[in-house]
Amino acid sequence: MHSDNFDLSLYFRRIGYSGPAAANTATLHALMRHQLFAIPFENLDVQAGKIVSMAPDDIADKLLQQRRGGYCYELNGLFTMALQTLGITYRFVAARPMFYPARRPKTHMAVIAEVDGRQWLCDLGVW
């Protein structure tokens, strides 16, 4: 997910991260940890029947400026905006929760990031 207007320093402040802006495994893990603890899972708009914008600038505004939480598409989308700014390669993957008794459609989105020659499953939108 790409945004020409993504503000990496605002993202770092929002998640309380003060480490290096480096494209390496240590930074990837630190950003995941910081974002998980700083930006909550929230699906209030979904539950209220509101249309949730998937436009990158709208996601960044909601989570960074309005300081709200989001659900998987928003949380993982925001994370990939930071990854792209850092130069970390990623791709989205469809997923489903495992705790349901029957197989359900893949309605969840996660991210696979590639850094330091390894692939990492990154999911900041779990609840």
In this structure, is residue 104 part of a structural domain? yes
Q: Determine the pLDDT at residue 4.
A: 83
Q: What is the mean pLDDT of the chain?
A: 93
Lowest mean pLDDT among 52-56, 78-82, 103-107: 103-107
Residue 122 bears catalytic tag: no
In sign, the C-alpha dihedral spanning 61, 1, 3, 16 is: positive
In this structure, is residue 3 part of a structural domain? no
The whole-number average pLDDT for the span 19-44 is 97
CATH number of the domain enclosing 105: 3.30.2140.20
Say which of 7, 72, 116, 122 is annotated catalytic: 72
In this structure, is residue 68 part of a structural domain? yes
In this structure, is residue 109 part of a structural domain? yes
Residue 91: which pLDDT band, with cuts at 50, 70 and 90? Answer: very high
Question: Which tokens is 69 given?
Answer: 């939480």
Cβ(59)–Cβ(53) below 8 Å: yes
Domain, as residue range, for 78: 8-122
Query: Is the model's pLDDT at 9 over the cut of 90?
Result: yes
In this structure, is residue 1 part of a structural domain? no
Residue 57 bears catalytic tag: no
In this structure, is residue 107 part of a structural domain? yes
Query: Is the model's pLDDT at 1 over the cut of 90?
Result: no
Say which of 2, 58, 108, 116 is annotated catalytic: 108
For the entire predicted model, the pTM comes to 0.91
Number of independent structural domains in the chain: 1
Cβ(31)–Cβ(8) below 8 Å: no
**Residue bearing the bigger pLDDT, 17 or 106:** 17
Burial of 45-68, coded b for 16+ CB within 10 Å and e otherwise, reads: beeeeeebeeebeebbebbbeeee
